[in-house]
């Protein structure tokens, strides 16, 4: 049987100093506005490109109601079919080893990866369609969510909006010091209710409960939002009731995009 494909999408193979990537683009069928389309740059696209593309397209059909305009979805994926490429993402999404846990793979490729995002990735997107550089949004989940906040803290001008879902702030909380800015970008942070403890339906595990308590995903995410708000950033924080680390992305994304892409 032939594979099912997403209409209006295309793949580009990019070779960068940080490594090889697949850039998946979903380009709106409607002509771009005078300033160009907004761009939603999605990390871990192997796992989430279909979900984000469907949410963006369905929302754009009634943009006046959803608050989400037609936008290019630019998903950065790794070669292969695995949903998560743990070694590559641990290198790309981190400035160095974690603060309090051993790392099973090499770390510290954050600057090279950001250079790829700002250079070859942004350049190829601009070649394919008219985009508005002042309306670029970065979306990351888990360790990619930590990277989104890390870029916000150290290179905020790289994007106009940031969505950090279940950010792994525990990796290095001290990195996330947010300076006041004349025109700070919009930031949406979301986390699932059960990311800091066991769910009522899973098999009890003392090791899992201890790890979740130690990483304090909910507390760290809420604290980051409070500190951003205190520094003058427009912030939306959402703790999704009944959701877990694996389920919160689908629940939180529409609300987050509406906030960061709003006027």
- For residue range 115-159, list pLDDT tens digits in order: 999 999 999 999 999 999 999 999 999 999 999 999 999 999 999
Query: Across 124-185, where does the E strand assignment appear?
Result: 131-141, 161-165
Instruction: Decide if 96 is inside a domain.
Output: yes
List Cα–Cα distances, 126 to 40, 47, 136, 235, in angstroms: 13, 24, 12, 28
pLDDT on residue 3: 80
On the CB side of 133, CA atoms within 13 Å amount to: 10
Query: Across the chain, where does the E strand assignment appear?
Result: 9-16, 19-26, 37-42, 72-77, 131-141, 161-165, 186-192, 235-240
- Cα 228 to its chain centre, rounded Å, is 17
Instruction: Decide if 4 is inside a domain.
Output: no
Instruction: Decide if 2 is inside a domain.
Output: no
Instruction: Decide if 75 is inside a domain.
Output: yes
Instruction: Decide if 198 is inside a domain.
Output: yes
Query: Could you tell me the sign of the dihedral formed by the alpha carbons of 22, 117, 246, 67, in that order?
Result: negative
Number of domains, the chain: 1
Instruction: Decide if 144 is inside a domain.
Output: yes
Instruction: Decide if 1 is inside a domain.
Output: no
- CATH label of the domain that carries residue 146: 3.40.50.1820
Average pLDDT for residues 77-101, to the nearest whole number?
Answer: 95
Domain of 41? 9-260
Instruction: Decide if 48 is inside a domain.
Output: yes
Q: What is the mean pLDDT of the chain?
A: 95
pTM: 0.96
What is the β-pairing status of strands 9-16 and 19-26?
Answer: antiparallel
Alpha-carbon distance of 259 to 254, in angstroms, equals: 9
- For residue range 142-153, list pLDDT tens digits in order: 999 999 999 999
Residue 263: pLDDT above 70? no
Percent of the chain with pLDDT over 70: 100
- For residue range 5-49, list pLDDT tens digits in order: 888 899 999 999 999 999 999 999 989 999 999 999 999 999 999
Q: What does the buried/exposed string (b/e) look like for 142-170 if buried means 16 or more CB atoms within 10 Å of the residue's CB?
A: bbbbbbbbbbbebebebbbbbbbbbbbbb
Q: What is the DSSP-derived secondary structure letter of residue 130?
A: -
């Amino acid at each position: 049987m032939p594979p099912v494909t997403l209409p209006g999408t295309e793949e580009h193979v990019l070779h960068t100093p940080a490594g090889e990537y697949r850039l998946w683009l979903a380009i709106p069928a409607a002509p771009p506005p005078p300033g160009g389309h907004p761009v939603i740059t999605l990390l871990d696209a192997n796992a989430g490109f279909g979900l984000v593309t469907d949410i963006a397209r369905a929302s754009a059909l009634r943009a006046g109601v959803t608050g989400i305009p037609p936008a290019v979805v630019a998903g950065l994926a790794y070669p292969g079919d695995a949903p998560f490429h743990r070694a590559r993402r641990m290198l790309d999404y981190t400035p160095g080893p974690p603060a309090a846990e051993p790392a099973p793979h090499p770390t510290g490729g954050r600057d090279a990866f950001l250079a790829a995002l700002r250079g070859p990735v942004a350049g190829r997107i601009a070649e394919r369609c008219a985009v508005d550089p002042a309306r670029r949004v970065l979306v990351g989940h888990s360790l990619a969510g930590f990277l989104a906040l890390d870029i916000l803290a150290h290179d905020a001008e790289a994007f106009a909006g940031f969505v950090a879902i279940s950010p792994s702030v525990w990796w290095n909380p001290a990195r996330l010091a947010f300076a006041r800015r004349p025109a700070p970008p919009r930031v949406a942070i979301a986390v699932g209710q059960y990311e800091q403890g066991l769910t009522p339906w899973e098999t009890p595990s003392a090791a899992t409960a201890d790890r979740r308590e130690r990483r304090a995903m909910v507390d760290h995410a809420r604290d980051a939002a409070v500190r951003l708000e205190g520094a003058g950033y427009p912030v939306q924080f959402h703790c999704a009731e009944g959701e877990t680390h694996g389920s919160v992305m689908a629940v939180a994304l529409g609300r987050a995009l509406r906030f960061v892409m709003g006027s």
